[in-house]
Structure 1
Amino acid sequence: MDATLAEIRAGLAAGNVVPFLGADVLADVRHTQDGRKIPATSDELILALNNGQPMAPRLMYEFPRAAMNIELKRGRSTVNRSLLGIYGDNGWSEAAVHRWLAEQKLPYVIDLNRDTGLQKLYADRPHTLIVGTARIASGLRYKLYRHDGQAYGPATAEESEIDTSAPILFKPCGTPWPEPQWIASDADYVDYITELMGGFAIPPFLKERRQGLKYLVVGARLNRDTIRMLLSDFIYGAAQPSGWALIAEPNDKERRFCARLGLTVVETDVRDLAGLTETAAA
């Protein structure tokens, strides 16, 4: 395993390996005022959207399903307000994995989480932010933002208005900054993934730039359809084998899925890769 981790670190340093970040990256993030954990996992998000109360088992299966139920009963704005209340709060602590990733000066990171932690650590450098959008009139399912090292500029879909050579931070499921946008409910994901498969959720310059790269899946379990579909499309055009998935206790379903995608399962945690000694609280 040590040789594999060394290979991954070398690939990250060379800019040939793209991190694909899931919920466990935020495992150590707490609110500075009351110590509560930031909602990140599917169950945590469902409870946060439903006033701390569990929903029916069929809705607890996956966050998009529960968010769709809330949207149908209380309106899409209810889901949007809840997510803004969670992730627009500036009281969350810094994730150790985020700090480590920011120090690597990586050219491209895909972050499925909706928090602003990594964006804040990128705020000292020029970069391109890509944010997923859904259920809008435009055929494109992304917005581009140019950060000049001080602030984000206005949203655009035009590549001529950004620096296509700058480091990329891709937030497909949304963020409150610089303006709130969310992929949350089943309807959002159906629209977004459909357009992702059709090529309308990734800018053309990135389609070219990503060819032949490898990917590193960290902090994500791969036993639900939504994340599996996202990952399958984001790593299109990857090198073969396509990279690694760090899963401490993978199940057979995850092993089979990774094998189909050319991902090597490594039974460890990203904190081992990063050399972080602190253990995230459960």
Structure 2
Amino acid sequence: MSTSVHTLASGLQAGNVIPFLGPRMLALCDGPDVPATPGALAQIMTAKVSVPHKIRNRLTQAAQFIENFKHRKSVVSLMNDAFAATPAPSALHRALAASGAGLFVDSWYDDTFAAALAEARPGGNWAQVQGLSQSEHFGQWFGAYDAHGLPLAEVPAAGTLLYKPIGSHAPGANYLVSDSDYVEVLTEIDIQTPIPPAVQAWRSGRSFLFLGCRFDDQLTRSFARQIMKRSSGTHWAVLPDEPTRMEARFLDEQQITRIAMPLAMFADELVSALQPALAA
């Protein structure tokens, strides 16, 4: 087992490393299946609502078309259907949830990691904060919920926090998914308005570990860049596939070290490295 994995495990236990989870984490889970890429989600949505052929595989554009010509409620209903099931958390989900990390960033809509936190921390000493669509919550950029799904008046300044920047299925069916959703957020994200102050405080001086993420489109790069702002200068990303030119530039710009190994293999090593501390 590599020294770097042990170093990451120690950083996680000490709360110095923030896990940043992407949709490809779902590949580690057993069923039921939910869409694990923007393209797969777009296909599910457009199988139920007709959209122009040229945007059928483009998630944000397809969602915008449905919002414009049906209703925002139609988009939310389709998203709720797509993510109604919760895949069983993998061993890596469970190990991370039980680790010493104080902030988790989950950049997909499924409820898998929230289920892992509920299992690892039955006392309910964690909260969730989700990005909100301006079309439904004008002027409010994020909403907070306790471990039981009840709304909170504000994001807790202390305790474990699950941050879902593009929303989530549960508990509030909040989704950033259409072009207009993202335009609103990206207009403000440079000055950090959509990012909760508690998240900004947590990331200060800490490192990020990207798991199940790709940076091959502008949206994912923009969100990751702004969420990482004012953190440390040392980060890692498990990327088994050769990065695209723009990904490579992003990794270099953000001082992210690529770990070139399959996610499943890395997961086995990290879970094993975390196990002694979790058993203590």
Q: TM-score, normalised by structure 1?
A: 0.84
Classify the secondary structure of the residue corresponding to 1:27: helix
Give, in angstroms, the shift of residue 86 of structure 1: 1.9
Q: Deviations over 1:20-67 (max 9, x none)?
A: 1111101144545xxxx3102011101111127997675256422222
Choose the corresponding residue for 1:107, options 99, 102, 105: 102
User: Partner amino acid for 1:117?
Assistant: T
Higher mean displacement: 50-59 or 99-108? 50-59
Aligned to 1:131: 130
Alpha carbons of 1:29 and 1:62: their partners in 2 closer, same or farther (altered >3 Å)? farther
1-side partners of 2:96 and 2:202: how far apart? 20
Determine whether 1:85 maps to 2:81.
yes
Give, in angstroms, the shift of residue 264 of structure 1: 1.1
Classify the secondary structure of the residue corresponding to 1:228: helix
Matches within 5 A, 1:146-225: 146-147=146-147, 151-156=148-153, 158-159=154-155, 162=156, 164-225=157-218
Q: Deviations over 1:225-254 (max 9, x none)?
A: 11010000000011113x011100123321
Contact 1:218 1:246 in 2 (8 A): yes
Aligned to 1:10: 10
Contact 1:110 1:171 in 2 (8 A): yes
2-side partners of 1:8 and 1:271: how far apart? 16
Aligned to 1:140: 140
Determine whether 1:226 maps to 2:222.
no
Aligned to 1:74: 70
Contact 1:30 1:93 in 2 (8 A): yes
2-side partners of 1:53 and 1:79: how far apart? 10
1-side partners of 2:54 and 2:237: how far apart? 28
Give, in angstroms, the shift of residue 269 of structure 1: 3.1
Contact 2:185 2:194 in 1 (8 A): yes
Determine whether 1:97 maps to 2:92.
yes
Identity across matched positions, percent: 25
Q: TM-score, normalised by structure 2?
A: 0.84
Structure 1 unaligned spans of 5+: 278-282
Aligned to 1:247: 239
Contact 1:195 1:201 in 2 (8 A): yes
Aligned residues: 264
Contact 1:100 1:274 in 2 (8 A): no
Alpha carbons of 1:253 and 1:81: their partners in 2 closer, same or farther (altered >3 Å)? same
2-side partners of 1:30 and 1:48: how far apart? 20
Give, in angstroms, the shift of residue 130 of structure 1: 0.6
